Amino acid sequence: MGKVPGSLRSAVSTALIKRPSSLVPSESPTQRPRFFPKKSPSSQLSGKTSQSKNTNSSETTKSPILFTSPDLSDAKKLFKSIVATARAPLSPRFHNSLLQSYAAISTVDDSISLLRHMIKTEPSFSPDRSTYHILLAQSCKASDSTLASTHQALNLMVTSGFNPDKVTTDIAVRSLCLSGRIDHAVELVKELSLKHSVPDTYTYNFLIKHLCKFRALSAVYNFIDEMRSSFDTKPDLVTYTILIDNVCNSKNLREATRLVDVLAEEGFKPDCFVYNTIMKGYCMLSRGSEALEVYKKMKESGVEPDLVTYNTLIFGLSKSGRVKEARKYLNIMTEMGHFPDAVTYTSLMNGLCREGDALGALALLEEMEARGCSPNSCTYNTLLHGLCKSKLLDKGIELYGVMKEGGMKLDTACYATFVRALCRDGRIAEAYEVFDYAIESKSLTTVAAYSTLESTLKWLNKAREQGKAV
């Protein structure tokens, strides 16, 4: 607190100081996730600049929101009183954090005005690149229908002598994508590539990933082609992994195979991630033989399978009803020095339950716990589901007791199966209790939980009328 005098504390930041100091650590984590995507590059940058500028660490921790009103004149007054009470000259970093905190609640125009005001009243303050990045991020986060305010921020930056660089592009792209303005992000990347610099691979791949998520595959390919032909920005191995993952998720294996070929043509050697992704694609379609094929190919080309590879393989084999082989790979992976985790065991249990061997799955739970691997809620859900399906309701109720004790959530399918099994067994009251637990533990929405209960009871009553069930 060297540079901030005591008088300032009482005069300005009442909102900040009034609360106990424990507020600061409690507030920074809540603030961080919100700012994370933008902050990481900008903090990188300010890290670079800070070396030469000798900043006071106490100021950087003082970033919690000072400004409480989005009104510009209030902000100016507040700024004036801060400057008036400060003994030593304030560092640019302090100005930036002030601007940042104002930007969080104001409009872009007001932020720019405040910056102008700061420059005018405080001649010693010269804004640096990260100052403009604050404005840029703010303009990108606003839900505008055009890029006008982003251009405004960029123009301001250029006229102040800072040419947008790769970090600028990254900040803009991430902020735009996170506020759902993906078309604007594409537009801006093209524009910035044309005028200033091309995006680096991280920005590029981030954008590709977002495009894959929200746009058609053809749009992604168009973008890649355009970037390649206009700016010579080529997709790298990570890009291909993203693409393969995307087409696998949409179960388009033919396209995935094509992409693997393209990958080889471009001179990339597939790594563990690519293989894992392809394997996952096959596993999702329950094609165990192909998944094994990929595993063999991996071994042949000298890529060492990792934990994910084995988990995927065991999952795939279990899913396609080849539990025995899956078990074999459990042993192999242990020999290779990988520790099977909850995912491995849950996949195997799933396989066993599918075969109707819920008792075998229960035995596996014991084995798993004996080996020091603790089951998660997914494990329990799988088991409960399996037990209900194999008409081992008493064991299921026992397991449900454990889940309830541990406060675990029920998944939709497991809840439905369990409720149905209870009702079929004439334990309506217990089914109601499970219904209450599902809502209380926030496993399902009330609507979903009730719909299942209602339809199950309807079915039960119908069956009773026809004299079928108990």
Degrees, nearest 5: CA angle 407-410-412: 160
- The correct pick among 159, 447, 467, 468 for binding other proteins (CB under 8 A) is 447
448 part of the interface to other proteins, by CB under 8 A: yes
Closest approach, Cβ 260 to other proteins, in A, equals: 28
What is the dihedral sign for C-alpha 28, 118, 11, 107? negative
Closest approach, Cβ 458 to other proteins, in A, equals: 7
Smaller CB distance to other proteins: residue 192 or 248? Answer: 248
445 part of the interface to other proteins, by CB under 8 A: yes
11 part of the interface to other proteins, by CB under 8 A: no
User: Token digits for 147?
Assistant: 């890029």
User: Token digits for 350?
Assistant: 């799933």
Closest approach, Cβ 220 to other proteins, in A, equals: 23
> Do 441 and 449 meet the contact criterion of CB atoms below 8 Å apart?
no
Cα–Cα distance, 409 to 140 (Å, whole number): 37
Smaller CB distance to other proteins: residue 74 or 436? Answer: 436
Stretch binding other proteins (CB under 8 A), from 66-74, 114-122, 235-243, 444-452: 444-452
> Do 24 and 64 meet the contact criterion of CB atoms below 8 Å apart?
yes
Smaller CB distance to other proteins: residue 236 or 454? Answer: 454
Cα–Cα distance, 347 to 352 (Å, whole number): 9
> Do 203 and 177 meet the contact criterion of CB atoms below 8 Å apart?
no
Q: Which residues contact 172 (CB under 8 A, 6 or more apart)?
A: 136, 137, 140, 150, 185, 188, 192
Q: Which residues contact 116 (CB under 8 A, 6 or more apart)?
A: none
Closest approach, Cβ 39 to other proteins, in A, equals: 27
Assign residue 274 a region: left if phi > 0, alpha if psi is -120 to 50, beta otherwise? alpha
Site residues (CB under 8 A) for other proteins, limited to 449-468: 450-451, 453-454, 457-458, 460-461
Site string for other proteins, 364-403 (x = CB under 8 A): ----------------------------------------
294 part of the interface to other proteins, by CB under 8 A: no
Closest approach, Cβ 453 to other proteins, in A, equals: 7
Stretch binding other proteins (CB under 8 A), from 261-269, 320-328, 399-407, 442-450: 442-450
Site residues (CB under 8 A) for other proteins, limited to 399-438: 411-412, 423, 426-430, 432
Q: How many residues touch other proteins (CB under 8 A)?
A: 22
Residue 375 CA, chain-centre distance (Å), reads 23
> Do 418 and 453 meet the contact criterion of CB atoms below 8 Å apart?
no
Closest approach, Cβ 451 to other proteins, in A, equals: 7
Nearest to 44 by CA among 159, 129, 127: 129
Smaller CB distance to other proteins: residue 61 or 461? Answer: 461
Closest approach, Cβ 461 to other proteins, in A, equals: 6
Cα–Cα distance, 470 to 466 (Å, whole number): 11
Nearest to 275 by CA among 296, 246, 251, 249: 296
440 part of the interface to other proteins, by CB under 8 A: no
Cα–Cα distance, 282 to 133 (Å, whole number): 44
Closest approach, Cβ 176 to other proteins, in A, equals: 25
Smaller CB distance to other proteins: residue 170 or 430? Answer: 430
- The residue type at 23: L
User: Token digits for 231?
Assistant: 């700016």
Closest approach, Cβ 427 to other proteins, in A, equals: 8
Closest approach, Cβ 457 to other proteins, in A, equals: 5
Closest approach, Cβ 258 to other proteins, in A, equals: 28
284 part of the interface to other proteins, by CB under 8 A: no
> Do 209 and 243 meet the contact criterion of CB atoms below 8 Å apart?
no
Smaller CB distance to other proteins: residue 231 or 450? Answer: 450
The burial of 73, by beta-carbon neighbours within 10 Å (0-12 exposed, 13-18 middle, 19 or more buried), is given as: exposed
Site string for other proteins, 35-74 (x = CB under 8 A): ----------------------------------------
Give contact residues for other proteins (rule: CB under 8 A): 411-412, 423, 426-430, 432, 444-448, 450-451, 453-454, 457-458, 460-461
